Amino acid sequence: MNTAKHAALTAAATPASPAASANSSADANANANATPRPDPLNQIRAEHVMISTGDYDGTIAWYRDKLGFTVRHEWTVTEFLGAKLAYLELNGFMIEVVETPEPFQQKAVPEDLGSALGDRGFGHLAFLAADVDAVAAELESRGVPLVVPPTSFADAGRRLIFVQDNNGNYLEFLTPLSAYAGGAS
């Protein structure tokens, strides 16, 4: 960080003197009549999720061939031992694939969906679909086995399936039950 930036940040974080506080009170009264600024967190949306893998090319091929993602951008980060990265995109959502030849975590892929749902941290990635039954049929035609076949959960108001990618990560596809005339079974 350059010295001027550091000085400006330090000055901004330093408590004000009593004289400055009196001026601050006048400023606060003037600001009380100002239009409140929007909460910047109300404007965020999901942009991408990152998958680290020892099978970079296989992961790109799986998401491209099985789900229809396209490679938006690929690059290498020389500062991280020449790690390769790619942004894959589908319908405005991206998956960042990062080559990690050596595991940086000792966490194993859960042996089944129940274990994944009972573990802490991110357990799966979910995609909203217009018709989860049609998605299930298409994925099976592309050689993707269903871990959970099309199943309706009335309490959650969803019909869903689960599959696993080439790395063992769980992916959920779901359709709100309200999208089905008369509900789905």
Q: Report which of 81, 77, 97 is spatially closest to residue 89, judged by C-alpha positions.
A: 97
* pLDDT tens, residue order, the chain (185 aa): 343 433 333 333 334 444 444 555 555 555 567 888 888 888 888 889 999 898 999 999 999 999 999 999 999 988 877 789 999 999 999 999 999 877 665 666 677 777 767 665 677 899 999 999 999 999 999 999 999 999 999 999 999 999 999 999 999 999 999 998 765 55
The DSSP code sequence of 81-128 is TTEEEEEEEETTEEEEEEE-SS-S--PPPPSSHHHHHHSSS--EEEEE
Q: Give me the pLDDT at residue 50, please.
A: 93
Both 115 and 184 in one domain: the answer is yes
User: Does residue 27 form part of some domain?
Assistant: no
Q: Give me the pLDDT at residue 3, please.
A: 39
Both 130 and 148 in one domain: the answer is yes
- Taking the C-alpha atoms of residue 67 and residue 62, their distance in angstroms, rounded to an integer, is 7
CATH code at position 148: 3.10.180.10
Q: Give me the pLDDT at residue 38, please.
A: 85
Both 96 and 149 in one domain: the answer is no
- Taking the C-alpha atoms of residue 183 and residue 13, their distance in angstroms, rounded to an integer, is 57
User: Does residue 24 form part of some domain?
Assistant: no
Q: Give me the pLDDT at residue 182, please.
A: 64
Q: What token pair was written down for 166?
A: 């080439």
The residues near 16 (Cβ < 8 Å, ≥ 6 apart) are 24
Strand order in the sheet with 158-164: 124-128, 170-176, 158-164, 148-153
The domain containing residue 134 runs over which residues?
Answer: 110-185
- The residues that bridge with 77 in the sheet, in sequence order, are 83
User: Does residue 123 form part of some domain?
Assistant: yes
User: Does residue 15 form part of some domain?
Assistant: no
- Taking the C-alpha atoms of residue 60 and residue 76, their distance in angstroms, rounded to an integer, is 15
pTM check: above 0.75: no
Q: Give me the pLDDT at residue 4, please.
A: 41
User: Does residue 98 form part of some domain?
Assistant: yes
Q: Give me the pLDDT at residue 35, please.
A: 85
